Each structure stands twice: as C-alpha cells, then as structure tokens.
Structure 1
Amino acid sequence: MNIAITGGAGFIGGHLAEHFAGHGHDVTVLDNFEPYYNLGIKDRNVDAAQSAAADAGGTYELAEGSITDADLVDELVAQADAVYHQAAQAGVRTSVEEPAKVNEYNVNGTINLLEAARRHDPDRVVVASSSSVYGKPESLPYDEDHPTTPVSPYGVSKLATEQYTRVYNEIYDLPTVALRYFTVYGPRMRPNMAMTNFVSRCLHGEPPVIYGDGAQTRDFTYIDDIKRVNAQLLTDDSADGEIMNVGSTDNIDIKTLAEVVRDEIDPSLELEYGDPREGDAEHTHADISKANELLGYEPTTDIREGVAKFIDWYRANQEWYDPLVRNS
C-alpha cells in the first residue's frame, strides 16, 4: 500500500514510517524539520525508515515541507491509500508562549490534510490527538465521555484537531479515526521530556529534577503499543469515525518515575525539586475500554519494564542522543 505520514521524521511518525516501510509498504513522509529539538534525532528516524525499506523491498520518500502548505499536502494525500497525520507543533510550554503558531500548525494544518483527503478519498485517515484534551479531571481514569477542558493552547488545538476529524467522518463520510495518545515514550523520543531529563541527569551523576511536588500522575505508553494499534488500523475499519484513548493504564506519579529511573542507574542520588511548569496537566489516566472493545487493544509494556528498556537503549545511543554528551 501507499502510506503517507505527516510529521514522519518525528518520534511517533518516524517509528510508524520505519514499521510500514519494514513491512514492504511504499511510504512517503512529510516533515518540516522544525528545530524544536535536536534535528539529528529526526535524521536518525529517517535513516531507520530508509534502512527498513531497503531491507523489505518497499520504498521510502521524504518530502521536506509544512502541513500549512495546502498544495504540498494535496500532492502527498493524492497518492496515498492511507494517511497517518502525526504532524503538530508539540509542547505544552511552547503553546503557552506561542499559541497562534500552535493553532496554525495543529488546527489549520489538520484542515489542509482533511480537505485533501476529502478530495482524494483514501481508504483510511488516522489522526493523532492527545490526552491533553482532558485537562482538569472530574474523575479518573478518563473515558472518552469525560468533559474536555484543556489547560493549555496545545490541548485546545488537539481538541479542535480531533473534532474536525470526527466531523469530516460524519459529514463527508471520510474513513477517519482519532487516537488520544497518553505520554508516549521509547527510543528516539523527544529529548525534552521528563523521562529523558531524568535518565540524562542520572547517567551524568546529577539528581533528577522534579517540577512541582511530584504528585502529578501520568500514563506512560511505550512506543511499541502505539505502533501496533496504528498498524492494525491500516486494514481494520472497526473504529471508523471514532475518537479513542490509547494509553497504558499503568499510571505512575512523577516522583515515583524519578525514583524508578534513579534506582536503575544510581540509587545514591537524591531527588531535586523545581517550580511547577505552567500549562501542565496535574493528572492523566487512560480508560482504554473503548479501544479494547473495538480493536482488542491491550498495552504490553509496563512502566518499569519500559523504563529499563529505554535506559538500555539510551546507554547504547548516548553519544549521539544525549544532549550533554553531544554538546561537550
């Protein structure tokens, strides 16, 4: 199949490109290489997908450009049997500083993609949303009927993204699915996340820094579970028109996460605390009953196993991945 992936040089998009190319599909990636973090990580994502394509006999094509370019998006979607929309301006704190930019990429860019899909009618359109749409919890875990009261411009933009996706299914019969991801982690993840900061500091003999009191809780979802559900949606139409949580159900508070990382690397280190960061949700916790019912989705990697796997990968790739090593 011909598969188009926006944001395909990023963390999740790069893993999807590698997976699909490694299964013999013809993959085209669109990415604007926004310098939001070290672009060398995106280069590694591209290399991994290119190698997977070469090994499996598929093809991999990289188009540099933005989802805000409607003509370029149209060209991408026109050749695709399936579209995976992963492109977005990420980062809660970035969205607090530049809400208009986040809206331009995440909302207007998504409309460009959905309009192109309406014209060219691919078999499947899978759109990435986020647990950030929930914001302040009235109850936990969040199910999809929980009120959506995002506490950051990023969360608002993702709520608009998924609702436009739903509307295009209802009005135009576009075969869409929107997935609400819950804190995805794993190899080649963005280096400015809590887990990567904890690992990096501990490997350098420095205490992990917790912003706030550490009572904030998160579902951390390993990248392999995200790849699996996206791959299933390539041919499974059971969830067409739906918005679904994709999480781990393995909820952990940030203080405990810091301790798990610390204990894997250097149990002698103390924990440090900093001021809370504006716009961060206090809690996320996924109810995955809907994804389980429609797709049989079950997470396979618990947080302690996932942390150990990520630390092993980090150590093996520290020379190019770790910002303190790279900039020394």
Structure 2
Amino acid sequence: MRILVTGGAGFIGGHLAERFAGDGHDVVVLDNRDPFYDLDIKSHNVEAGRAAADASDGSYEFVEGDVRDAELVTDLVADADYVYHQAAQAGVRPSVENPRKYDEVNVGGTLNLLDACRDEGIERFVMASSSSVYGVPQYLPYDEEHPTTPVSPYGASKLAAERYACAYSEVYDFPAVALRYFTVYGPRMRPNMAISNFVSRCMNGDPPIIYGDGTQTRDFTYIDDILEANVTLLEEDAADGQAINIGSTDNIEIKTLAEEIRDQLAPELELVYEERHDADAEHTHASTERASELLGYEASHTIREGVSKFIDWYRENREWYEPLVRNS
C-alpha cells in the first residue's frame, strides 16, 4: 500500500512511518520540520523510518513541506492509497500565545488534505485528534458522547479539524476517522512532556517540577498501543465517520507519577511545586469501549509498565536524547 504520513518526522508520525515501512508498505512522509522542539529528534525519527524500509520490502521518502501548501498536498495525496494525518501545531500552553497559527495549521492544513483526499478518492483518511477536545470533565472517564468544550485554542483547533473530517465523511461519502489520543509517550517522545522531563531531571540529580498541587490526573498512552489502533484502520472500515478515544487502561495523579519516577531513579530528591498553567486540563481519562467494539482495541501497557519501558529506553539512548531534552 502507498501511505502518506503527514507530520511523519514527529513523535507519533515518526513511529507510524517506521511501522508502515517496516511492514513493507511504500511510505511518503510530509513534515515541515517545525522547530517546536529540537530538530535532531526529528532527524532520528526519519532515520528510523529509512532503516525500517531498508530492512523490509517497503520504501520510505521524506518530503520537507507544509500541510498549508495546498498544491503540494494535492500532489502527494494523488499518489497515496491511505493518508495518516499526524501533522499539527502542538502544545496547549503555546496556543494561548498564538491562537491564529493553530487555526492555520490544524484547521486549514486539515482542510487542504480533506479536499485532496475527496477529489482523489483515497481508501481512508485517519487523523490524530486529542483528548483536549473535551475540556472540563462533566464525568469520567470521557466517552465519545461527553460534551466537547475545549479550554485552549489548541483543543478548539483539534475539535474543528476532526469535525471537518467527520463531516466530509458524511457529506462526500468519504472514509475518514479521527482518533482522540490521550497523552502519548514512549521512545523519541517530545522532550517537553512531563514524563521525559521527570526522568531527565531525576537522572541528573534535579528534583521533578510539578505545576499545580499534583492532584491533576492523566491518562497516559504508550506509543505501541497508538500504533496498533492506527494499523488496524488499514483494514477495518467499521469506524468510518467517527471520532474514537485511544487511551490507556488507567490514569494517574501527576504527583504520583513524579514520585514513582523519582523513587526509581533518585529517591533522595524532594518534589518541587510551581504555579499551574490555566490552559492545562485538570483531569483526563478515556473510555475505550468504542475503540474496543469497532477496532478490537485493548491497551497492552499500564502507565507504570510503559514508564518503566521508557526509562529503560532512555538509559540506552541517553547519549543523544538527553542533551536534547535538557536543552529544550
């Protein structure tokens, strides 16, 4: 199969492109190498994709470009069977400073892809959405019927993008699926995430920094579970036109997460607390019943298991990864 992965030099997109290429598919990656975090991590993602293609019957091509470039997007979609749209302007807190960029990239860029996919008649469009679309919880865990009232421009832009995708699926008889990810983590993850920060600080004798009182809870999802949900959509068509939660099996308080990482790496350290950011969600927790029913999805990693695997990977890759984390 010919698969276009937008944002394929990023964390999730990079792992998807690597998996698809390793499975023998022909993969084209579109990424603008936005310096939201250290570009050397993105270079490692590209290298991993190329290595996976070299070890299989697949192929891998990297195209540096932007989803806001409608002409380029149209050209790339014309050669694709499937489009996995992972490209986005990331970050809840930065979206407060520059909301219009989030609209241009996350909404406008998605519309460029949807128009091209509709016109070309591709097999399926799968996009990365976010738990940020839910906003303040009225109940937990979030199911897909929960009201969507995002509290950040980032969340609003992701909600608009997924609604366009589902509307296109309905109006144009167009196969599209939006996967709502819940705080994905794992090898080569973005360096400004809580888990990578906690691990890096503890390994270097610095106390973990918690924003707020630490009672906020998160549903962290290990990258391998995200991959399985996406790969299933190469074959499964029961989910077309829907938004689907892809989360973990449990959730954890940020304070408890920091303590567990601290206790594994540097038990003598005391936790440090700083002021919480207003745009941060208080709680997230996914109901994955719809994913189980439609995709046969079942998370294979608890948060503690996944964090332990990430710490092991971090130790093995510390020489190149840690300086990028600590300098971000």
Could you give the per-residue CA deviations for residues 32-66 of structure 1, whole angstroms, max 9, x where no partner exists? Answer: 00000000000000000000000002110000000
Change in 2 beyond 3 A, CA 1:69/1:217: same
Offset at 1:323?
3.0
Alignment partner of 2:55: what SS? helix
Offset at 1:324?
6.7
Could you give the per-residue CA deviations for residues 129-166 of structure 1, whole angstroms, max 9, x where no partner exists? Answer: 00000000000000000001101000000000110011
Q: How does 1:269-308 map to 2 (within 5 A)?
A: 269-308=269-308
Specify the alignment match of 2:166 in structure 1: 166
CA distance in 1 between partners of 2:316 and 2:121 (Å): 43
Alignment partner of 1:309: what SS? helix
Offset at 1:326?
7.2
CA distance in 1 between partners of 2:226 and 2:89 (Å): 19
Alignment partner of 1:61: what SS? strand
Alignment partner of 1:284: what SS? coil
Specify the alignment match of 1:225 in structure 2: 225
Contact 2:200/2:325 (8 A) holds in 1: no
Offset at 1:269?
1.1
Offset at 1:250?
1.3
- Which stretch shifts more, 311-320 or 163-172? 311-320
The Cα RMSD (Å) is 1.0
Specify the alignment match of 1:197 in structure 2: 197
Could you give the per-residue CA deviations for residues 195-239 of structure 1, whole angstroms, max 9, x where no partner exists? Answer: 111001000011100000001110000000000010010111111
Alignment partner of 1:235: what SS? coil
Alignment partner of 1:37: what SS? coil
CA distance in 2 between partners of 1:318 and 1:326 (Å): 11
Q: How does 1:13-92 map to 2 (within 5 A)?
A: 13-92=13-92
> TM-score scaled to structure 2, two decimals?
0.98
CA distance in 1 between partners of 2:42 and 2:29 (Å): 12
Alignment partner of 1:308: what SS? helix
CA distance in 1 between partners of 2:39 and 2:264 (Å): 28
CA distance in 2 between partners of 1:84 and 1:118 (Å): 14
Moved segments of 4+, more than 2 Å: 323-327
Change in 2 beyond 3 A, CA 1:296/1:324: closer
Specify the alignment match of 1:134 in structure 2: 134
Contact 1:320/1:326 (8 A) holds in 2: no
Specify the alignment match of 2:8 in structure 1: 8
In structure 2, what residue type is equivalent to 1:7? Answer: G
Could you give the per-residue CA deviations for residues 86-120 of structure 1, whole angstroms, max 9, x where no partner exists? Answer: 00000001101110011100000000000000110
Which consecutive unaligned segments of at least 5 residues does structure 2 have? Answer: none
In structure 2, what residue type is equivalent to 1:107? Answer: V
Contact 1:319/1:326 (8 A) holds in 2: no
CA distance in 1 between partners of 2:90 and 2:123 (Å): 27
- Which stretch shifts more, 318-327 or 100-109? 318-327
Specify the alignment match of 1:242 in structure 2: 242
CA distance in 2 between partners of 1:222 and 1:310 (Å): 9
Matched residues, number: 327
Offset at 1:278?
2.7
Contact 1:135/1:281 (8 A) holds in 2: yes
CA distance in 1 between partners of 2:130 and 2:215 (Å): 21
Which consecutive unaligned segments of at least 5 residues does structure 1 have? Answer: none
Contact 2:249/2:301 (8 A) holds in 1: no
Offset at 1:76?
1.1
CA distance in 2 between partners of 1:324 and 1:51 (Å): 22
CA distance in 1 between partners of 2:77 and 2:131 (Å): 27
Change in 2 beyond 3 A, CA 1:295/1:263: same
Specify the alignment match of 1:257 in structure 2: 257
CA distance in 2 between partners of 1:2 and 1:86 (Å): 16
CA distance in 1 between partners of 2:198 and 2:307 (Å): 11
